[in-house]
Amino acid sequence: MSELPLRAQLASVLGRSAASLSRATGRGDGSVIGGRVALKVEPDLLAKLAQGRRLALVSATNGKTTTTRLIAQALREFGDVATNEYGANMPTGHITALSDNKSAVNGVLEVDEKYLPQVLKATNPSFVVLMNLSRDQMDRASEINLLAKKWRTALAQTDTHVIANADDPLVAWAGLGAPNATWVSAGQRWKEDSWCCPECGGHLKRETDPHWECPECGLARPRATWAVDNDNDVLVAPDGQQIKLRMNLPGDANRANAAIAAATAAGYGMHPERTIERLREVTSVAGRYTSVVTMGVEVRLLLSKNPAGWLESFAVLDPPRVPVILAVNAQIPDGKDTSWLWDVDYTVLRDRRVFVMGERRTDLALRLETDEVPFEVADRVDEVLAKLKAERPDITKVDVIANYTAFQQIRTAYGRVQ
């Protein structure tokens, strides 16, 4: 990329110093404070740092950190990649990611849904990668219909190329605003936020999944050139080639993330077969999907923050003999409103041992009681493990599904125990 103007260079240096200080004093990973300091010195810094690069912006309700990581992993085939892999997904985080890697021509930035129009305008990216939109932390997040409309409008004002999930009506409608698009049939398990036409409000016809169409205005699912075949664990490329996925990240949601990543990497000129090989190298993303061994039991940590995420996590649970711990908090990063617990169907848990934990475990308890799922209440993971081991000394595995701060608490407590 070209040399930065002096003021932008200074801004960038100051930002990086602040970031180092933040890390050295143990106050954070520096992604946010560094960007904040730099922006004070040069408000156009993000645009300047983005110039001359081939950027992909990645946004969605769920899977944006993972997909960003997957795309970056693939693009490292060509050399350095500038990316915000710690999930600092607002402009300050983007500035830090680009400042930290000035020479990288390729970049992949995870973008918070609300900030997408602004970052799109500032960075003029080659690709915008969109996966899904569903209800999430509604006490502080935007309404998703409004969000989709803002995406659509912003995309229409660019010459960017969208790579998007055709199976999510809200995402597809937003993506159809862009001048160019590659459509991926990545699937949609959670459909409760897309029964109505984003264009006119009509009740969508969704008879043969993944097809959808509006009988009132005619809006319909765009034809996809890439597809995931979950039953056969296969990615179908535009030329019809079937590529076995065999990902090390679990579940259909990660097959969808991999397909989107492969379609994006293809935009950079990478062959999908090679992309998938590189994606298999990823075994955990910022602690997600990590297993920690504690008290001789393998504890797998699944982060899920909203109804769509919980539904995906239920689908990747180990066989019923493996117990599951559900942990829910309602701090600001989680959303202070636990109403979403009522949107999920828990009856699939009836045949397994279930424990509830976290600051809002009473909400979970009532929810499970209502669905007639037997459960036990617990304070800590090690207490559950001790109880299970006392009953069944040969127990080897436990799954944990937790929302954001509950996940962080468990990870801090057990993440380093081997």
Which positions lie near another protein, rule CB under 8 A?
A: 135, 138-140, 143-146, 192, 195-196, 201-203, 336-343, 362-363, 365-367, 369-371
Question: Nearer to another protein by C-beta: 277 or 371?
Answer: 371
How far apart are CB 149 and another protein at their closest, in Å? 9
Q: Between residues 244 and 350, which has the closer beta carbon with respect to another protein?
A: 350
Q: From the CB of 144, what's the least distance to another protein, in Å?
A: 8
Compare residues 268 and 375 and give the one whose CB is closer to another protein.
Answer: 375
What is the nearest approach in angstroms of another protein to the Cβ of residue 199? Answer: 11
Residues with Cβ < 8 Å from 131, sequence gap 6 or more?
A: 58, 59, 60, 62, 63, 64, 67, 164, 165, 168, 171, 186, 256, 257, 260
CB 169 within 8 A of CB 204: yes
Q: In angstroms, what is the minimal distance from the CB of 367 to another protein?
A: 8
Q: Cis omega (within 30 of 0) on the bond before 210?
A: yes
Minimum CB separation of residue 110 from another protein in Å reads 25
- 294-317 burial code (b ≥16 CB/10 A, e <16): bbebebbbbbbbbbbbbbbbbebb
Q: 279 with 228: CB under 8 angstroms?
A: no
**Residue with smaller CB distance to another protein, 74 or 204:** 204
Closer to another protein by Cβ: residue 93 or 198: 198
Q: Tell me which residue has tokens 């990329």.
A: 1
User: Got the DSSP string for 301-370?
Assistant: EEE--SHHHHHHHHHTPPPTTS-EEEE---SGGG-S--GGGGGS--GGGTTS-EEEESTTHHHHHHHHHH
- 332/386 with CB nearer another protein: 332
Q: Minimum CB separation from another protein for residue 203, in Å? A: 4
